[in-house]
Structure 1
Amino acid sequence: MNANKALWEKGDFTRLAATMRESGEEVVDSLDLKAGMDVLDLGCGDGTTALPAAKRGARVRGVDIASNLVAAGNARAREAGLSNLSFHEGDAADLGALADAQFDLTLSMFGAMFAPRPDDVAREMVRVTRPGGRIVMGNWIPGDPTLVAQILKTSAAYSPPPPEGFVSPMTWGNEELVRDRFIGAGIAPDNIRCERATYVFRHPGPPSSFVDIFRDYYGPTMNAYDAATKAGRTAELDQELRQLFESQNRGGPDRAEIPATYLKVSVRR
C-alpha cells in the first residue's frame, strides 16, 4: 500500500477533526467565497473546510488519499443535505482525474503538505486552478514552538528514520521553499504571499484527554507510540506530550483550547 495512504487510514482523523471545526469555519470566512464558485479542497479529511465552503454556496469537491475519510465526508455531506459537495479518493501529487483550470479556488489546510513529491503537488494545484483563481494552503512550520509542529517533531524523534529520499512535509512551512515550488510551477513571484496565522484546537475535556485523541487516532503520533512501545519508551513519550499540551493550553483545567501557528500561503494563478 502507498505509505502515505496507510498513514492516514491507520487512525480515525475524524476524532481529531472534531476539535478543528470552529477554526475551519474561520478559515472559510476569510476566503470571501461566492455562491457558484468551484472549489477544490485537497487533503480535505472529512470536510472541516469543505462543508462550510459548500454551505456558503460554492460547488465543492473534496479529495483525500484516505478512503475512510472520504466515506466520512460523504456521510457528513448527505446528513447536511449538501448536493453541491462531494468527496473523492485521490493523490495530491497526481490529480489526473481532474481537468486543467477546473477550479476558482484550490484550498488545502494541513493536507497536501503531507503528500510525497512536493514539486508535483505544486504543479498539480496550479494546473487545476483557473487563470485568475487562487490557491490557499495552511502548512505547519518547522521548528515552530506551538502545538502541532512540536507534536510532529516529538513524534519523529521516537519513530524509525524515514526512507531514503523522503522529503519532510514540514518543508511546506518554509517560505523560501514554498516560493521556489510555485515559481517552478509557473507562478510569478509577485503572485505568492506568505503570512503566519493561528489555528485553534478546541476539545471539551482536559488537555490529558486531548493527548489521548492524538495517541489513539492521529497517524504520526500512533506510529511514534508504536515505536516507543517497542523501545520501552512509552512512558517517556507520553510524559513529553502531556507536558506539551498542558503548557500550551489556554482553556483551563477542564477544557483544552490550544493555538497552533501555521504558514498561510496565498497564490494568485
Structure 2
Amino acid sequence: MTAVDPSNADAAAAWDGPNGDVWAEHADMFDNGVARYLPPFLDAVALEPSSQVLDVGCGNGITTREAARRAAHVTGVDLSTRMLDLARRRAAAEGLTNVSFVQADVQIADLGDARYDRVISRNGVMFFGDPVAAFANLARTLRPGGRLVLLVWQTMADNPWFTAFRDAIAVGRQLPVPPPDGPGPFALGSPDRVRTLLTSAGFAEPDLVGLREPMYYGPDAATAQRYLSAMLGGLLTELDDGPRADADAGLRAELAAHLGPDGVTYPSAMWIVTARRR
C-alpha cells in the first residue's frame, strides 16, 4: 500500500484486509445483486473510443472491464490488494489489454493533472475521510470539461435491505447506524450534500438521476443466507452460541419472506451523479 491519509487509515485497514477478502470471495454475488444498475450507469458515462478513464473504488473490476470495452484505456484504483488481484486476473482472462490497476488512496494519491476524460465509480466513493479533498483531487485529474459519473446509494430509508438484515440479527443489541454524512454506504444519499461536496471540490452543479431496482441476493433463501452471513460476519461472530443461533434463524426467516419468482430480492435505490469539472 502506498501512502494513506490518516482520515482513511481505518478504511484502508478494513478494505486491504478482512472486508476486501470477503468482497473478493463473493464478487459474483454482489455484481449480480446490483446488475440492473450497470447498463444505465454505463449509458450515463457515455464513453467514446478515445476516452481515458479512471475507475475509483474499482473493487473486483467489473466496471473497469465494461468501460475498457468502450474506451481507449481504463485505470482501476482501489485499496484492496485481494480485489485488485482478482480484477487483474479477470481482465487478463477476458483478453483486455487496455486496463491497468493501481492500489492507492485517491484522497491524496498523485493521479496526474488533466489526465482523464472520465472519472467513474460504482459504489466506491462514499467512504472518504475528507470527501472534499478526495473529490478535489479527482477534479484535478480530469481534463477541462471532463466528467465525473458516480453510482451511489440513496438514503438508508430508501434502501430497506440494510435495516432489514441488521434488525434480523440484532437479537436485543443496539447496532450502530452509519451516519448520513459518512463515511459510510449512505454518505452520498442526500442530494443537497452531494451538491455541496462536489461544488466545493471544483465541479459544476451536479445532476442527479434516481433509480430504483430490485436488489438480488440469490435464487433461494439458503444461498442468500450464506452470502449475507459472510457480509455480516463481524456482527455475527461476536455473538455467543445461543444468540448466534437466534440471529441465524431471524435472518433465515427474513430472507424466506422475500423469496419470489426471481429469487430473494429487496427494493433498493441509487443515484447516478454526473458533474463536469469547472
Shorter-chain TM band: 0.7 to 0.9
Give the letter aligned to residue 173 of structure 1. Answer: G
Q: What is the Cα-based RMSD across aligned positions, in Å?
A: 3.1
Is the Cα contact below 8 Å between 2:208 and 2:273 reproduced in 1?
A: yes
- What is the identity percentage for the equivalent residue pairs of Structure 1 and Structure 2? 25
**Length-normalised TM-score, structure 2:** 0.79
Aligned to 2:194: 178
Give the letter aligned to residue 92 of structure 2. Answer: R
Q: 1:256 aligns with which of 257, 260, 264?
A: 264
Q: Could you tell me how far apart the structure 2 residues matched to 1:33 and 1:214 are?
A: 34
Distance 1:60 1:117, change over 3 A: same
State how 1:65-76 maps to structure 2 within 5 Å: 65-76=79-90
SS of 1:125's equivalent in the other structure is helix
Q: Could you tell me how far apart the structure 2 residues matched to 1:121 and 1:251 are?
A: 42
> Aligned pair 1:89/2:103, yes or no?
yes
Q: CA deviation at 1:116?
A: 2.3
Higher mean displacement: 81-90 or 137-146: 137-146
SS of 2:45's equivalent in the other structure is coil
Give the letter aligned to residue 266 of structure 1. Answer: T
> Aligned pair 1:195/2:199, yes or no?
no
Aligned to 2:61: 47
Unaligned runs of 5+ in 2: none
Residue-by-residue CA offset, 1:173-214 (whole Å, 9 max, x unaligned): 11111111111112233xx11121135544553133123213
Give the letter aligned to residue 201 of structure 2. Answer: A
**Length-normalised TM-score, structure 1:** 0.81
Unaligned runs of 5+ in 1: none
Aligned to 1:131: 144
Distance 1:180 1:147, change over 3 A: same
State how 1:23-172 maps to structure 2 within 5 Å: 23=36, 25-26=38-39, 27-96=41-110, 98-146=111-159, 148-150=161-163, 159=175, 167-172=183-188
Residue-by-residue CA offset, 1:131-161 (whole Å, 9 max, x unaligned): 1111111112223343554368658976568
SS of 1:173's equivalent in the other structure is coil
SS of 1:194's equivalent in the other structure is strand
Is the Cα contact below 8 Å between 2:61 and 2:76 reproduced in 1?
A: yes
Q: CA deviation at 1:37?
A: 0.5
Q: Could you tell me how far apart the structure 2 residues matched to 1:105 and 1:152 are?
A: 35
Q: CA deviation at 1:89?
A: 0.7
Aligned residues: 259
SS of 2:195's equivalent in the other structure is helix
Q: Could you tell me how far apart the structure 1 residues matched to 2:219 and 2:260 are?
A: 12
Is the Cα contact below 8 Å between 2:165 and 2:254 reproduced in 1?
A: no
Residue-by-residue CA offset, 1:25-50 (whole Å, 9 max, x unaligned): 41324422111211111001111211
SS of 1:144's equivalent in the other structure is helix
SS of 1:138's equivalent in the other structure is strand
Residue-by-residue CA offset, 1:13-32 (whole Å, 9 max, x unaligned): 13443132543641324422
Residue-by-residue CA offset, 1:59-83 (whole Å, 9 max, x unaligned): 1000010110011101111111111
State how 1:229-268 maps to structure 2 within 5 Å: 229=239, 233-252=243-262, 255-268=263-276
